[in-house]
Structure 1
Amino acid sequence: MSRKHRNLADHSVSDLYRESVSRSSSVPAESDDFDPQVYEARTETGTDEGDLDRYCLITRSEFHGADPNLCGPVRTIDKYHSAVDRLMTEGHDIFEGVLSYDTALYLKYFIKVKSWFTYSTLNLHIKQFKYSATDASAKPCDVSPQAAKLSGQAIQNWNFLRLLPLIIGDRVKDTEDAVWQLTLQLKDIVDMICAQKISVPQVAYLDVLIQEYLESRKGLFPEKMDDAEHSNISSSIMKVLPDLPAAILNILEETLQSLGVETTEDFPFIQEADLLSVLRPIQARKLVAAWKKHNQTTEIHSQSALTTPVSSTPSSHSSSPSPSHPITAPDWVDSFQIPLEKFPEALMQCLERGKRPSPRLRREMVRIVVTEIMAICASPGKQASTQVAKKMVAKYPQSLQDVIEGDVVGPGYHSLVKQLQARIENVKRNSAQRIMKRKQGSDEYDTEGIPAEQRAAVQDTYGCIQWDMKFMPVSETPESQQDKKDKMKMLSEQTNFSPDEVKTLMKCTYYSQRKDIIKGTELQSLMEDWPFLFQEIGMTVHFQELTGVSLKDTFLNSVEKKGKRLLDFMRTIFSDRKKQVMQTVIKLKFLRGQLEGCSEDVKDMVLLLLSYFEEKEETLLHYVEETCLPQDVLPESLPVTPCIIVCGTSCYTSRPFMLSIDRKIVNDQIPNFISAICLMFGSYYCLNIHYPVDLASTLEFLQRCFFNINPEKGTKVETKKNKKQLTVNPRVLTLIADLSDHEWRGTC
């Protein structure tokens, strides 16, 4: 434990404050960086019986008497040192000690690990924050990425922690995050320590609060390895990578520590993927290969030693070490049995009768299963959780599968995997003294396991069955492809073309269309060469060939089956939970008026999804004047990603709609909202466009639940550097699970 935290842990809070509460045997506390504003605030407000300060034993009247030095017991050197040793000064131990170091550490976690904001954003918020007159004279200092502590004076650091929830609270995406809760706990502790009056029971509570804080902090941010083992690990790395910069070496050591590496004996359990956040792929492979080779050599020596005859002296037996922990077989998942005998009777009744268990019973089931798993394997990975979830869903598909109105979402077990993983992490957080793998923020050495071009291609092929045709159809030639292409250009200028003929031509030229798109042909050239690709008749054919899904038919069938259930859930259940959704429901009811029909329901559905996921409507829908012509739309006002242009103040009254891609209007005659939604969504797949982060949840929910595209791996969302991508958006999974529960409750 560091010295700055040992000051809190070595002495009980009761000891530190007994004198200040009972006023029996202490002396006035001073600090060489004592801030007059703090003292002034205390003395002006005052405490009971006219005390100058809760650290001071004499009253104001005694202090202003003839000789204040004659008041109280006579002070000797021994008494002075005894009192000072037991007294915790706020300036040194809190504001420039624990608060300064820990707050800087937590901010680094929020920025580097969680990516909630950047140092620039934080410092901008600090400068733009509207401080009160009292706080304005001691504004917090800027936070430096390189500094291990806050750079401000005591009063500035105190103000910073006190105002931190107001300064960055809107950037905190997960208020239940353990480190954010730890930050708030530190704030509560400091608030109590700085209180102008504190009772004996509150001192006891503060004692408990500090002990909990120290334990939580130690679990989330464990101390460094001991020097000898640290040196062994460093030398092992430098033997393989002698030219590794010192800065990268330090980050690599931190990463290994966060993964649980304590000695060099843990190296064989490290995988290449664990190191890719710090090292280049080749560097990571060299390290892993060297460590595995060393481990194999060690095993060979061990086996030869076992086969060599040894004397049966007591010393030989005592020198052979026995493992302190049981060795777990790597294939434990294959033999894992679901602990059905430990499930509650109510849960077993649901499972055996094919009914969906209530959320409470499902959580109880997850707790029991995770307890059983971790009794076998102390640190199971996601792959193990996935295999267990597969077993459970396969045994009880009607009760545990992810379904909406009978349609299986994805492979059907993602929500159960999510719950198992969340429970495992919660259990490990309480027992394992480590945090999640840290990410390296340096652009110079920050690498991914897959090159950028290849990673983009992986995202482009997401959900596709025929993304790139390697060979031209046997019945086609380059000349025939060009002839059909020219014919479609001619037909696009006519108003009475045959739809069937266009569909046939689009299907026959799919090979050439894909080649032009994949090689990155400019959008304007695509519009000129393949005009029907941006109309409903042509995009439907291209989308069908690309994904195997009928674009509009699939969407309409899904709306018919699931739309009512989704709207009912949003309007009744969730509007009661979230004020923003309730406001949207009321607003849409007013805008829609007496209008009825499938198209109006789809508008409600899309707008409510945007409200539910708290995503930006302007990224999906751009409103212009009702009489606005395509050439009048300002390109700079449009988003880069596919966007529906609504002519009017409301999509309920707009006729027709337009579609823009890359700030260009590619179709200005879309007859209805359903066609507009289908064309907008189809554009992402046909033109290799990634989902924007601002619409990630809404588009993925539409993709999985209404267009029935459910890949088991990968993502269509544009990636952020150093940000882990999940196969299924957790927020989408949560809504799917809630809808499934709502469906079962509705049928009971």
Structure 2
Amino acid sequence: MSDGKDVPKELKTDILDKLAEAMYSFKTHPTSAECGLVAKSLIDRYPCLMERGSSCGWYGWRYRLVFKMGNFRQKLRIAGSLELSVNSKQPASGLKRKRQKPRKSEVNFLPDFPNGKTSNTLEEERCALEDEMKKRTFDGRKVDVLMESTFSLRRKEVIGDEPLVKDVKSRWSALFSERQIATEFRRIVSVDLKKTFFDRLDEFVPRFLRLYRARDNPGEELQVLLQSLDEDISNQQKRAVVLLGLPYFLKEEPSKFYKTCDPTDDEAEMLKGMNIGILVVTEENSANLLPKEIIDVALVLEEEIVLHELNDVPNAFALLIGLLYALNIDYPKDLKYTFEVIQKVILNIGGDACSPKVHGLRNRLLCKTP
């Protein structure tokens, strides 16, 4: 029997698109349970799509279908040219984004329009970009070119208008992909997001783990994360333990930032209170901070999933940093030191101006024997 996770991404997207279109013709806002019935019917009809490792074989399909229906409704709103509230002010969720000057060492914070270009000509290019993204199979090279040419317009909107994330996604849907997040980050900071993040993280992983283990009264959560290395000592596991353990080591509160849930849990309830966060979907005990079997990893902004199918927790951390830069969103106050470490120590961006707490940790990490 085929493993559903091995289904080519293009085929999986095609299946979900067709299911969403068919479901929308019957009901515009199906419940999570109704999406589950469709997912079960899909597996019953095509057993080759069953997901190995899932108790029923279709939980992952149900979860992706819920997300796909949201995207499908959003695309229809764009196609219908509904008025978008791009000038909306501070969101009710409380995300802090009102920054007219760079504060995270952005080297290209608010660029001028290219020579010979106006807001009108750039808006035409943006429309061409959205038209391309509506195609079932879009031209990646054309998208790259249009994203590059419209960068200044995008930054003017994001910084000047402070739109809600859902409105940015409506106007700039291409931005919400792994490739474009990394490219946008490079435009803003002139740093290769993933290469720098993972190269530097791997350099510090052994030192972080030694500091975690040497800590007096490390707390239950940090102990559980460290104990997970007794069963899995892969580099990927070590990366995840370091990143998830960082808030506990710094005595910060990550409960609203990082959550695990069962695929049958009510999505709206799980996302409640998550202004900025990472959501891991698993069939294991949802109290487990780092499950062995993960169905999905998603990024959450303003209580909505903005990107999913990210494979693992470290990748989600890297892309979240990229999105926060791309959308001009400040770090969550509850985790200000955690994100400062990620930016100034792991990514080495603005590392010459650390807070005393992070400066002390940085010195200990740079010592050969912390």
TM over 0.5: yes
- Structure 1 position 605 matched with structure 2 position 246: no
User: Contact (CA 8 Å) 1:585, 1:608: kept in 2 or not?
Assistant: yes
- Structure 1 position 540 matched with structure 2 position 177: no
Kindly tell me: are residues 507 and 461 of structure 1, through their superposed partners in 2, closer, same or farther at Cα, counting changes over 3 Å? farther
Aligned to 2:347: 707
Q: Which amino acid aligns with 2:166?
A: Q
CA distance in 1, matches of 2:138, 2:234: 30
Give the SS at the match of 2:242. helix
Q: Which amino acid aligns with 1:699?
A: F
Give the SS at the match of 1:737. helix
Correspondence 1:668-683 to 2 at 5 A: 668-683=308-323
User: Contact (CA 8 Å) 1:544, 1:550: kept in 2 or not?
Assistant: yes
Correspondence 1:47-58 to 2 at 5 A: none
CA distance in 1, matches of 2:297, 2:205: 22
1:468 is displaced (CA, Å) by 0.9
- Structure 1 position 527 matched with structure 2 position 169: yes
Q: Which amino acid aligns with 1:645?
A: L
1:542 is displaced (CA, Å) by 1.4
Kindly tell me: are residues 487 and 628 of structure 1, through their superposed partners in 2, closer, same or farther at Cα, counting changes over 3 Å? farther
User: Contact (CA 8 Å) 1:502, 1:538: kept in 2 or not?
Assistant: no
Aligned to 2:30: none
Give the SS at the match of 1:643. strand
CA distance in 2, matches of 1:693, 1:478: 35
CA distance in 2, matches of 1:691, 1:591: 28
User: Contact (CA 8 Å) 1:462, 1:711: kept in 2 or not?
Assistant: no
CA distance in 2, matches of 1:675, 1:535: 13
Aligned to 1:638: 273
CA distance in 1, matches of 2:260, 2:226: 19
Q: Which amino acid aligns with 1:465?
A: V
Aligned to 1:651: 290
Kindly tell me: are residues 647 and 731 of structure 1, through their superposed partners in 2, closer, same or farther at Cα, counting changes over 3 Å? same
CA distance in 2, matches of 1:587, 1:565: 18
Residue of 239, 249, 253 corresponding to 1:616: 253
Give the SS at the match of 2:299. strand
Give the SS at the match of 1:544. helix
CA distance in 1, matches of 2:230, 2:345: 27
Percent identity between matched residues is 20
Correspondence 1:546-625 to 2 at 5 A: 546-571=188-213, 574-575=214-215, 578-581=216-219, 583-591=220-228, 594-625=231-262
Aligned to 2:361: 735
1:528 is displaced (CA, Å) by 0.6
CA distance in 2, matches of 1:596, 1:605: 12
1:485 is displaced (CA, Å) by 1.9
Structure 1 unmatched ranges of 5 or more: 1-452, 713-726
1:731 is displaced (CA, Å) by 1.5
Kindly tell me: are residues 673 and 502 of structure 1, through their superposed partners in 2, closer, same or farther at Cα, counting changes over 3 Å? farther
Task: Give CA-to-partner distance per residue, 1:585-621, whole Å, 9 cap, x none.
Answer: 5412444563343332221001221111011121320
Kindly tell me: are residues 661 and 511 of structure 1, through their superposed partners in 2, closer, same or farther at Cα, counting changes over 3 Å? same
Task: Give CA-to-partner distance per residue, 1:233-252, whole Å, 9 cap, x none.
Answer: xxxxxxxxxxxxxxxxxxxx
Tell me how large the CA RMSD over aligned residues is.
Answer: 2.8
Correspondence 1:276-315 to 2 at 5 A: none
Kindly tell me: are residues 692 and 496 of structure 1, through their superposed partners in 2, closer, same or farther at Cα, counting changes over 3 Å? same
User: Contact (CA 8 Å) 2:225, 2:290: kept in 1 or not?
Assistant: no
Kindly tell me: are residues 541 and 661 of structure 1, through their superposed partners in 2, closer, same or farther at Cα, counting changes over 3 Å? same
Task: Give CA-to-partner distance per residue, 1:459-479, whole Å, 9 cap, x none.
Answer: x4431111112x311264545
1:508 is displaced (CA, Å) by 1.5
CA distance in 2, matches of 1:606, 1:477: 43
- Structure 1 position 457 matched with structure 2 position 94: no
Task: Give CA-to-partner distance per residue, 1:42-90, whole Å, 9 cap, x none.
Answer: xxxxxxxxxxxxxxxxxxxxxxxxxxxxxxxxxxxxxxxxxxxxxxxxx
User: Contact (CA 8 Å) 2:299, 2:308: kept in 1 or not?
Assistant: yes
Give the SS at the match of 1:619. coil
Aligned to 1:626: 263
Scaled by the length of structure 1, the TM-score of the pair is 0.33
- Structure 1 position 503 matched with structure 2 position 144: yes
Aligned to 2:156: 515
CA distance in 1, matches of 2:150, 2:144: 10
- Structure 1 position 484 matched with structure 2 position 125: yes
1:704 is displaced (CA, Å) by 1.0
Scaled by the length of structure 2, the TM-score of the pair is 0.65
Kindly tell me: are residues 495 and 601 of structure 1, through their superposed partners in 2, closer, same or farther at Cα, counting changes over 3 Å? farther
User: Contact (CA 8 Å) 1:534, 1:667: kept in 2 or not?
Assistant: yes
User: Contact (CA 8 Å) 2:239, 2:314: kept in 1 or not?
Assistant: yes
* Matched positions, count: 268
Kindly tell me: are residues 551 and 634 of structure 1, through their superposed partners in 2, closer, same or farther at Cα, counting changes over 3 Å? same
Q: Which amino acid aligns with 1:488?
A: L
Task: Give CA-to-partner distance per residue, 1:278-331, whole Å, 9 cap, x none.
Answer: xxxxxxxxxxxxxxxxxxxxxxxxxxxxxxxxxxxxxxxxxxxxxxxxxxxxxx
CA distance in 1, matches of 2:139, 2:234: 29
Give the SS at the match of 1:609. helix
Give the SS at the match of 2:347. coil
User: Contact (CA 8 Å) 2:186, 2:193: kept in 1 or not?
Assistant: yes
CA distance in 2, matches of 1:540, 1:665: 18
Residue of 319, 331, 336 corresponding to 1:696: 336
CA distance in 1, matches of 2:308, 2:259: 13
CA distance in 2, matches of 1:500, 1:705: 34
Give the SS at the match of 1:570. helix
User: Contact (CA 8 Å) 1:540, 1:550: kept in 2 or not?
Assistant: yes
Correspondence 1:390-401 to 2 at 5 A: none
1:693 is displaced (CA, Å) by 2.4
> Which entry has the higher C-alpha Rg, 1 or 2?
1
User: Contact (CA 8 Å) 2:212, 2:218: kept in 1 or not?
Assistant: no
Aligned to 1:267: none
Q: Which amino acid aligns with 1:647?
A: V
Aligned to 2:90: none
CA distance in 2, matches of 1:623, 1:559: 23
- Structure 1 position 466 matched with structure 2 position 108: yes
User: Contact (CA 8 Å) 1:621, 1:645: kept in 2 or not?
Assistant: yes
CA distance in 2, matches of 1:664, 1:654: 20
Give the SS at the match of 1:657. strand
Higher RCO (C-alpha under 8 Å, 6+ residues apart): 2
Q: Which amino acid aligns with 1:540?
A: A
CA distance in 1, matches of 2:202, 2:139: 29
CA distance in 2, matches of 1:543, 1:474: 23
CA distance in 2, matches of 1:564, 1:636: 33
Give the SS at the match of 1:644. strand
Kindly tell me: are residues 591 and 563 of structure 1, through their superposed partners in 2, closer, same or farther at Cα, counting changes over 3 Å? closer
CA distance in 2, matches of 1:590, 1:570: 12
Greater helix share, 1 or 2?
1
Give the SS at the match of 2:256. helix
User: Contact (CA 8 Å) 2:298, 2:307: kept in 1 or not?
Assistant: yes
CA distance in 2, matches of 1:467, 1:655: 36
